[in-house]
Amino acid sequence: MTGRLLTIGDEILVGQVVDTNAAWLGELMTGLGIRVDRADTVGDDRAAIVERLREGLRTAGVVVVTGGLGPTHDDVTKSAVMELFGVGSRFDEAVFEHVRARFERRGLAMAPSNRSQAEIPEGFEALPNPVGTAPGLWRGADGTHGILVVLPGVPHEMKTIAVGSLVPRLSSIEGRAAIVQRTLLTTGIGESALQERIRPVDHLLTDDVSLAYLPSIHGVRLRLTGRGPDPESATARLEALAGHVLQRAGRWVYGEGEDSLEGVVGRLLLDRAATVAVAESCTGGLVTHRLTNVPGASGWVKGSVVAYHNDVKRDGLGVPESVLDAHGAVSRETAVAMATGARHAVGADFGLATTGIMGPGGGTPDKPVGTVWIAVALPDGANRAVMLRLGTDRIRNKERAATGAIDLLRRALTGLVEDDPGFVA
Amino acid sequence: MTGRLLTIGDEILVGQVVDTNAAWLGELMTGLGIRVDRADTVGDDRAAIVERLREGLRTAGVVVVTGGLGPTHDDVTKSAVMELFGVGSRFDEAVFEHVRARFERRGLAMAPSNRSQAEIPEGFEALPNPVGTAPGLWRGADGTHGILVVLPGVPHEMKTIAVGSLVPRLSSIEGRAAIVQRTLLTTGIGESALQERIRPVDHLLTDDVSLAYLPSIHGVRLRLTGRGPDPESATARLEALAGHVLQRAGRWVYGEGEDSLEGVVGRLLLDRAATVAVAESCTGGLVTHRLTNVPGASGWVKGSVVAYHNDVKRDGLGVPESVLDAHGAVSRETAVAMATGARHAVGADFGLATTGIMGPGGGTPDKPVGTVWIAVALPDGANRAVMLRLGTDRIRNKERAATGAIDLLRRALTGLVEDDPGFVA
């Protein structure tokens, strides 16, 4: 099946907003076995929308539209859809009740224009929007048109409706097998090394069971897909593959789906009622920033010292002058002394430290730009340290070093540090 | 004139990469007075590219293509262009010499496939690429086709060629006036308050002189455009407007073009050989992370204390227990004590502090989620503090509080704090 994406909004065309929905939907549909062959953007212009929809529904199996829903856009997408099919709309009481209740819960008066959210074009089903007011719309294929799906442009709402209503429908439409997916999140191992590890189970991969590697700066996501005549058999195939993948690569898997590495670490710390303090040199605050992005982080982040200057490493963290002199600021010894110092200075159970050369300047032949040491100090006084060799881009280096540090803490919390051959411990 | 954008790449359609080029080009073209009415993405598929180009060049004044250039893409864009116009290519010695010299400078052997970079379709001009190997391509309008521009997909290369070669050409094509632009960057004032301030000079705005407000979470960018029969008169008009805008809104303008707020603050500190230390509570390291994103930040960032727990505010920063008890952690008094404490604890000339309630939890009737105090401690012992009332989204609140704090330091460094009516100082 061929898929087509259509994003609607003047704000995209004039460059005020970057369209991230198309990439997210492209990945989702690719995972469902739908080949997206085009992604178009048009403005809030009814004629242009009708023209694009007409062309798309004639040549593609499914067209997914985002944006142009809701009162602020004058419902331009809905009226385009009604014009295209020559239909009116019906007032959907269930949708209206949802909108009304939503305003009531927040103690807000509902503007009359919100009534229009409950106007559903004839021939369409409303897809529930649990996190907003504009419902999604679904129209099945007929003899001349492919499936048409309309979703709000707000990414959070779009994703919630897509996962809750679109994936099950696309997976179960007539003539297609049931499809189930899991996405395992890995970090600390490159794509090719990960493939090397998983390769022995490649014989499990068939038309019904597939595995995609999705690399990014923070790690490789593994998207596992199972297909079958019904959801049960699809799930059974998926789980068989997942079991084998986890057996071979589980130590690099930190979470699943929408998990974040820092959220996982936060749960691990909360579970044991432990706290962490960070000593950051080269990451310059980024590790703590990411940890404190997690709601409720104040329950397990005690505080940090960003020791950009050696003075601060010495006076703020108690790194001995002799260690700095003998080994330099970027060394295993300094990283360990910083992690230990953070534990004591801040008064936390775990200490985490980063020190390195992020570039563009500051490299030496011995310690080129991209050399980073990270260390974790454990509650029992022991510690672990690891060296990373990163690239030359300052911003990317900071991101990768922060991910490495947070993952080192995760490994320490799950007992995975010691037997890890990838670590210089 | 109508503009059309065409992005090429399978990696976009499967969602591996978010297309940021389209937004950047959309803004650029809008600024040049070109109305972008559509932005399409197709895969690395020659037939699809030819079809999109044929349609675009028939209906739009200018089509800008990004991606699909260079040996890794098999030059799919170039061969599509040659198919469309039924032309071959010529070997461009100047382009080849540029590619060869580039490899030589980096001490790398040039793969033979790079020769293809110098193959330019007949009827096209090569647009120099000072930061990469693939040149851009330009073909002027003829009786049946609009202007066709082809740029590499790598954002850095695309932008460099667009600014260096595309803007001057689009500005000077027959029948169009010369166009010059400046973008002034503001922060700390909302879009409508800024409009209110600038409104008295609105009479200066004509067809030849325009002003656009481009709001984002970090502030409002002001894009000033001057048009005229020649570059000199366009520049004179632009500068007349710029002078008036700066007179009315200058105190909120921190930079221009691609400046970053933290980079500006870094230069101000370097100029007076001063250093800064940060005490971060609610921003959780983000202020220091942003400061240390600037290359060479080690010359002016001394270090920071992320005091997430009150223990750390007291023990690490010397905030008196009595201040915390009497006023609470989120108060003017605590913010000032934190900023002063950071100066002394870390040993820097300036101290900067943030404390607030970022959400989702932690709000009270007195101090709802979004309440933030920021403070700066000056080298002479004086201090300034300001309260921000932000929203309920944790991540956005952190970003906005960090921007507010960095801007408070900028104002302190430029003497703009005291007479600023927007400040509770």
Q: Which of B308, B359, B362 sits opposite A301 (nearest CB)?
A: B308
Q: Quick one: tokens of B300?
A: 């002016």
Contacts of B43 in chain A (CB under 8 A): 37-38
Give me the percent of chain A exceeding a pLDDT of 90: 72
B23–A36: do the CB atoms touch at under 8 Å? no
A292 touches chain B (CB under 8 A): yes
For residues B46 and B76, is the Cβ–Cβ distance under 8 A? yes
pLDDT in tens, B135-187: 999 999 998 999 999 999 989 899 999 999 998 898 877 556 678 889 999 99
B312 touches chain A (CB under 8 A): yes
Residue B425 inside a domain? The answer is: no
Same domain, A274 and A403: yes
Which of B7, B14, B282 best probes binding to A when mutated, by most A CB atoms within 10 angstroms? B14
Å between B28 CA and nearest CA of chain A: 8
Those of residues 76-115 in A touching chain B at CB distance below 8 A are: none
Judged against a pLDDT cut of 50, whether residue B421 lies above it is answered with: no
DSSP character string of B352-378 = EEEEE--SSS---SSS-TTEEEEEEE-
Query: What DSSP state is assigned to residue A166?
Result: I
pLDDT in tens, A65-124: 999 887 665 679 999 999 999 999 999 999 999 989 988 887 778 877 788 889 999 999
A318 touches chain B (CB under 8 A): no
A291–B302: do the CB atoms touch at under 8 Å? no
Same domain, A329 and A375: yes
Residue A245 inside a domain? The answer is: yes
Residue B314 inside a domain? The answer is: yes
Last residue of a domain, one of B214, B239, B256: B256
Return d(Cα B198, Cα A277) in angstroms, integer: 47
pLDDT in tens, A152-204: 998 989 999 999 999 889 887 755 667 888 999 999 998 889 999 999 988 99
Return d(Cα A335, Cα A271) in angstroms, integer: 27
B278, closest residue in chain A (CA to CA): A306
Judged against a pLDDT cut of 90, whether residue B115 lies above it is answered with: no
For strand A35-42 and strand B35-42, is the pairing parallel, antiparallel, or unpaired? antiparallel
Same domain, B73 and B188: no
Contacts of A298 in chain B (CB under 8 A): 308-309, 362
Q: How much is the pLDDT for B166?
A: 94
A310, closest residue in chain B (CA to CA): B302
Å between B419 CA and nearest CA of chain A: 32
pLDDT in tens, A350-397: 999 999 999 998 999 999 999 999 999 999 999 999 999 998 889 999
B288, closest residue in chain A (CA to CA): A285
Name the most confidently modeled range: B125-139, B177-191, B267-281.
Answer: B267-281
B392, closest residue in chain A (CA to CA): A295
Find, among A178, A183, A184, the residue nearest to A233 by Cα. Answer: A178
Residue A425 inside a domain? The answer is: no
For strand A89-91 and strand A119-121, is the pairing parallel, antiparallel, or unpaired? antiparallel
Angle between helices A231-249 and A191-198 (to 10 degrees): 110
A32, closest residue in chain B (CA to CA): B14
Residue B423 inside a domain? The answer is: no
Same domain, B61 and B136: yes
Q: Which of B18, B297, B316 sits opposite A303 (nearest CB)?
A: B316
Last residue of a domain, one of A206, A235, A256: A256
For residues B344 and B370, is the Cβ–Cβ distance under 8 A? no
Could you give the count of Cα atoms lying within 13 Å of B269 in the half-sphere of its Cβ? 29
This complex has an ipTM of 0.83
Give me the percent of chain B exceeding a pLDDT of 90: 71
Q: Which of B13, B296, B304 sits opposite A285 (nearest CB)?
A: B304
H helix runs in A69-227, sequence order: 76-85, 93-105, 155-161, 167-172, 191-198
For chain A, how many structural domains are there in total? 3
Same domain, A44 and A189: no
Instruction: Please give the helix or strand (H or E) that residue A23 lies within, else none.
Output: helix A21-31
Strand partners, B89: B121
Return d(Cα A26, Cα A28) in angstroms, integer: 5
For residues A264 and A273, is the Cβ–Cβ distance under 8 A? no
Judged against a pLDDT cut of 70, whether residue B34 lies above it is answered with: yes
For residues A88 and A66, is the Cβ–Cβ distance under 8 A? no
Size of interface A-B (CB pairs under 8 A): 224
Residue A418 inside a domain? The answer is: no
For residues B319 and B329, is the Cβ–Cβ distance under 8 A? no
Q: How much is the pLDDT for B96?
A: 94
Same domain, A29 and A148: yes
A286–B291: do the CB atoms touch at under 8 Å? no
**B17/A148: higher pLDDT:** A148
CATH number of the domain enclosing A247? 3.30.70.2860
Count Cβ atoms within 10 A of the Cβ of residue B252 and give its class: 0-12 exposed, 13-18 middle, 19 or more buried: buried
B148 touches chain A (CB under 8 A): no
Q: How much is the pLDDT for B73?
A: 56
Q: Which of B14, B301, B360 sits opposite A295 (nearest CB)?
A: B360
B43, closest residue in chain A (CA to CA): A37
CATH number of the domain enclosing B314? 3.90.950.20
Same domain, A323 and A266: yes
Same domain, A21 and A156: yes
Same domain, A89 and A211: no
Return d(Cα A259, Cα A77) in angstroms, integer: 33
Same domain, A14 and A162: yes
B283 touches chain A (CB under 8 A): yes
Return d(Cα B208, Cα B210) in angstroms, integer: 7
For residues B59 and B196, is the Cβ–Cβ distance under 8 A? no
For chain B, the residue count is 425
B23, closest residue in chain A (CA to CA): A15
Å between B15 CA and nearest CA of chain A: 4
Q: Quick one: tokens of B417?
A: 């704090």
Those of residues 10-69 in A touching chain B at CB distance below 8 A are: 12-20, 22-28, 30, 36-43, 45, 48
Residue B387 inside a domain? The answer is: yes
A213, closest residue in chain B (CA to CA): B16
Count Cβ atoms within 10 A of the Cβ of residue B270 and give its class: 0-12 exposed, 13-18 middle, 19 or more buried: middle
Residues in contact with B118: Cβ distance below 8 Å, sequence separation at least 6, in sequence order: B91, B92, B93, B95, B96, B99
Which of A8, A63, A304, A349 best probes binding to B when mutated, by most B CB atoms within 10 angstroms? A304
DSSP character string of A305-348 = EE--SHHHHHHTT---HHHHHHH-SSSHHHHHHHHHHHIIIII-
Those of residues 199-218 in B touching chain A at CB distance below 8 A are: 214
Last residue of a domain, one of B256, B277, B296: B256
Judged against a pLDDT cut of 60, whether residue B385 lies above it is answered with: yes
Return d(Cα A386, Cα A408) in angstroms, integer: 8
The model's confidence at residue A11, banded by pLDDT at 50, 70 and 90, is confident
Residue A422 inside a domain? The answer is: no
Identify the domain containing residue B24 by its residue range: 2-172
Q: Quick one: tokens of B318?
A: 């010397």
A293, closest residue in chain B (CA to CA): B395
Same domain, A90 and A134: yes
Return d(Cα B174, Cα B32) in angstroms, integer: 14
Judged against a pLDDT cut of 90, whether residue B108 lies above it is answered with: no
Same domain, B231 and B335: no
Q: Which of A18, A38, A360 sits opposite B20 (nearest CB)?
A: A18
Q: Which of B19, B20, B30 sits opposite A14 (nearest CB)?
A: B30
The model's confidence at residue A240, banded by pLDDT at 50, 70 and 90, is very high
B214, closest residue in chain A (CA to CA): A16
Which of A10, A223, A306 best probes binding to B when mutated, by most B CB atoms within 10 angstroms? A306
Residues in contact with A107: Cβ distance below 8 Å, sequence separation at least 6, in sequence order: none
A38–B48: do the CB atoms touch at under 8 Å? yes
Return d(Cα A338, Cα A348) in angstroms, integer: 13
Q: Which of B43, B288, B311 sits opposite A306 (nearest CB)?
A: B288
One-letter amino acid identity for A406? I
One-letter amino acid identity for A103? F
B291 touches chain A (CB under 8 A): yes
Å between A308 CA and nearest CA of chain B: 5
Q: Which of B30, B292, B346 sits opposite A284 (nearest CB)?
A: B292
Those of residues 174-203 in B touching chain A at CB distance below 8 A are: none
CATH number of the domain enclosing B82? 3.40.980.10
